[in-house]
Amino acid sequence: MKGGPPEIGSSARKEAARLAEDFAATLDLRLGDERFRAEVADGRLAVVRGDAPAPDAIVETDHGTLLALAHRRIDLADAVRSGEVAIVGDAKAVEHFLGLFTLPEPFASAA
């Protein structure tokens, strides 16, 4: 996907869209210096660079933590408590958004 986080491939977008049919939200994902706007509406997911003018929530974290959340290796509430993730706005929308993804575990590289 050009312009979006490389971790979100086309199969993940299709799965997210299927699960998002009754969900609509706009999130700003702030990953270090990078900014992405994720919009879910009408069963579609769009992720582009930049900030939304009025997001439902702003999520500040890093790439690794976002991937760990998407892979369900860490719990969102735990990540917020530990300071790995900061959420401004609708935390339930963030939870729902993260629940849209069914991502395979990353391929382990040979040491």
Report pLDDT for 111: 56
Domain ranges of the chain: 10-99
Architecture of domain 10-99: 2-Layer Sandwich (3.30)
Report pLDDT for 70: 86
Residues of the chain under the 50 pLDDT cut? 1-2, 6
Contact 45, 39 (CB under 8 A): yes
- Percentage of the chain beyond pLDDT 70 is 72
**pTM of the predicted model as reported, rounded to 2 decimal places:** 0.74
Contact 50, 35 (CB under 8 A): yes
Question: CA-CA distances (angstroms) from residue 54 to 26, 27, 29, 36, 60?
Answer: 8, 9, 13, 13, 16
Q: What confidence tens digit (pLDDT) does each residue in 34-62 have?
A: 999 999 888 788 899 999 999 999 999 99
Report pLDDT for 30: 97
Report pLDDT for 2: 44
